[in-house]
Amino acid sequence: AQQHKGYRSVVVPSLPAVLGYAQQHFGRLSLERVMRPAIRLAEEGYPISRLQRRQLGWCLADLRASAATRELFLKRGRRYRVGETFRQERLAETLGRLADAGVQDFYHGEIARAIVEDMRAGGGLISDEDLSAHDAPVRCGPISTAYRGGLVLSTPPPAGGLQVCVGLRLMEELSRGQAPSDPDDICAMAAEVIRAVFHERERWSVHPRDVSPSLLRWLLSADRIGELSQRVTSAMNEPTPADLSPGDPGDSGETTHLCTADAEGNVVSLTQSIQSLFGAKVANARLGFLYNNYLRTCPRHRHPYALAGGCVPRSNASPTIVLSDGAPILALGAAGSRRIVSSVLQVVAGVFQQGLSCADALDAPRVHAQSPRTLHIERPAATEPLLRRLRARFPRQRMRARHSYFMGAVQAIHRLEAGWVGAADPRRGGTVAGVC
């Protein structure tokens, strides 16, 4: 339980270092100017949405259990109502200090001291040495693979981009000759590919320290993808062995994704997360923010990401950009824990294999098959012929509502001849905006 929530589930936050690095190396505006809108939003607040009220309800007991979360995220001990204004004055003060003193303050200065003091008081594991050792991100190149005449770029381990690339290559290989057009065939293929991708993830769980160009070339090679394709094809009509582990279905995540493009052709696909919904369920009362609970992603058994001092948390984040003729044509990413990988896979395939618009690809019903014997499927796709067809392969069939929260939420932008078009997933909160 301590690994799942509370102060002992927290790892060093990396987002300030990552965003500060990006601003310093790629930004034109000052840090103070860039942070001004976020500070204003925290000060002035915004109206609570229906989804946010539901999320507060899901975690209400945990939020009430901690004095800091009760004060910061509840209104006199109750959930905020839809439309009520939610303000974060203490977070605004923290953001203001970062804007004035710089991101280094989070790891070396006053903010760092406030974090360490709170960790000591709450029995947490993070020390001032831990913070000071993580003040700069490790910059590394993307995972890349050819796909339907273009180039897919995504995030390397410990994130989920490798699984996205393997899945897209496998879909392309299985569709060689002609991509399926029947909705049942599309869902059946997606289910098999997603299950194979997660099986490969556990079979070849690559730690960042072990990533090498030769290993990535092999994992994405034509021979390797061909081998996976043959394995999937030969297994499609065979029942799944009953002794396979059902796997971990994952939980609701606290992840946000955004995409943006400017008039000069620059594109950003950015995913950030504190792991579970409301993270560790504890917050820094002085600084006004929740802590992550990323230590829960580190297994206790023998594993490249096993729980240990200095261990690296594993992530499903898969911000992805697709290039055509060397220029970005699609940028996307998702929230949704393990469903991030499966959602990104299905949306990219919808656009490039099925010819859907970006909005239609996000709207289309999805499947998820992370566990060997369990299929999650949104009801519009759950036809009786398809369920009968897949019953031997997936005896545990879980029906999900149309636009199910469980399936995650993809945000995407797509470049057409007339310019960029944005689309927000109807499954969760999200919006599209343009500036002329």
Average pLDDT over residues 388-396: 93
**What confidence tens digit (pLDDT) does each residue in 16-41 have?**
999 999 999 999 999 999 999 999 99
8 in helix, strand or coil? helix
State how far the Cα of 436 lies from the Cα of 434, in Å rounded to an integer.
7
CA neighbours closer than 13 Å in the CB half-sphere of residue 118: 22
Whether the predicted pLDDT of 345 surpasses 90? yes
Cis peptide upstream of residue 158 (ω within 30 degrees of 0): yes
Task: List the alpha helices (DSSP H) in 207-246.
Answer: 213-219, 222-235
| CA-to-CA dists, residue 196 to 68, 280, 389, 435, angstroms | 43, 31, 18, 41
**What confidence tens digit (pLDDT) does each residue in 195-205 have?**
999 999 988 88
**What confidence tens digit (pLDDT) does each residue in 48-98 have?**
999 999 999 999 999 999 999 999 999 999 999 999 999 999 999 999 999
Whether the predicted pLDDT of 325 surpasses 90? yes
Whether the predicted pLDDT of 252 surpasses 80? no
> What pLDDT, on the 0 to 100 scale, is given for residue 382?
94
**Average model confidence (pLDDT) across the chain:** 93
> What pLDDT, on the 0 to 100 scale, is given for residue 171?
96
Q: How far apart are the first and last CA of the chain?
A: 50
137, 14 contact by CB (below 8 A):
yes
337: left (phi over 0), alpha (psi -120 to 50) or beta: left
pTM of the shown model? 0.94
Q: Which two tokens stand for residue 357?
A: 């618009």
Q: Which CATH class is domain 143-250+315-424?
A: alpha beta
Q: Which two tokens stand for residue 84?
A: 């009520």
Residue % of the chain over a pLDDT of 90: 82
> What pLDDT, on the 0 to 100 scale, is given for residue 249?
46
Residue 246: pLDDT band (50, 70, 90) is very low
- Name residues whose C-beta falls within 8 Å of residue 193's C-beta, 6 or more positions apart in sequence: 167, 170, 171, 174, 232, 345
Domain ranges within the chain, ordered by starting residue:
7-136+278-297, 143-250+315-424
